[in-house]
Amino acid sequence: LMRTKIPEGLQKLPGPKPLPIIGNVLEVGNNPHLSLTAMSKCYGPVFQIQIGMRPVVVLSGNDVIRQALLKQGEEFAGRPDLYSTKFISDGKSLAFSTDQVGVWRARRKLALSALRTFATLQGESSEYSCALEEHISKEGLYLIERLHNVMKADGSFDPFRHIVVSVANVICGICFGRRYSHDDDELVSLVNLSDEFGKIVGSGNPADFIPFLRILPSTTMKKFVAINARFSKLMKKIVNDHYNTFDKDNIRDITDSLINHCEDRKLDENSNIQVSDEKIVGIVNDLFGAGFDTISTALSWAVVYLVAYPEIQERLQRELREKIGMDRTPRLSDRTDLPLLEAFILEIFRHSSFLPFTIPHCTSKDTSLNGYFIPKDTCVFVNQWQVNHDPELWKDPSSFNLDRFLTADGTYLNKMEGEKVLVFGLGKRRCIGESIGRAEVFLFLAILLQRLKFSGMPGEMLDMTPEYGLTMKHKRCLLRVTPQPGFEFPGT
| Residues within the interface to ligand HEM (CB under 6 A) | 94-95, 108, 111, 115, 171, 286-287, 290-291, 294-295, 298, 355, 358-359, 423-425, 429-433, 436-437, 441
In whole angstroms, how close is the CB of 429 to ligand HEM at the nearest point? Answer: 4
Q: Are 337 and 294 in contact (CB under 8 A)?
A: no
Helix (H) or strand (E) segment spanning residue 454: strand 452-456
The least CB distance from residue 156 to ligand HEM, in Å, is 26
The nearest distance, CB 205 to ligand HEM, in angstroms, is 16
CA-nearest of 382, 295, 346, 372 to 37 is: 382
Which is closer to ligand HEM, CB of 133 or CB of 286? 286
Nearer to ligand HEM, 400 or 489 (CB): 400
Pick 18 or 425: Cβ nearer ligand HEM: 425
The answer to whether the CB of 131 falls within 8 A of the CB of 437 is: no
Mark residue 363 as left, alpha or beta (left: phi above 0; alpha: psi -120 to 50; beta: remaining). Answer: beta
- Dist CA 364 CA 243 (whole Å): 37
* Comparison of 115 and 164: residue with beta carbon closer to ligand HEM: 115
Q: What is the dihedral of CA 314, 315, 320, 325, to 10 degrees?
A: 60
Amino acid at 129: S
Read out DSSP for 120-131? HS--SSTTSSSH
Residue 382 or 481 having the CB closest to ligand HEM: 382
**Cα-to-chain-centroid distance, residue 208:** 21
> CA torsion sign, 446 to 448 to 452 to 455?
negative
Report the C-alpha gap between 126 and 119 in whole angstroms: 15
Shortest separation between residue 216's beta carbon and ligand HEM, angstroms? 29
**Helix 310-323 vs helix 283-308: crossing angle, to nearest 10:** 110
* Closest residue to ligand HEM in the complex (CB): 433
In the complex, the smallest distance separating the C-beta of residue 101 from ligand HEM, rounded to whole angstroms, is 11
- CB nearer ligand HEM, residue 115 or residue 172: 115
Q: Are 24 and 48 in contact (CB under 8 A)?
A: no
Is the Cβ of residue 58 or residue 295 nearer to ligand HEM in the bound state?
A: 295
Closest approach of Cβ 21 to ligand HEM, in Å? 29
Q: With contact defined as beta carbons under 8 Å apart, do 358 and 421 qualify?
A: no
- Least distance between ligand HEM and beta carbon 325 (Å): 28
- Which of 99/319 has CB closer to ligand HEM? 99
- Could you tell me the smallest distance in angstroms from the CB atom of residue 322 to ligand HEM? 27
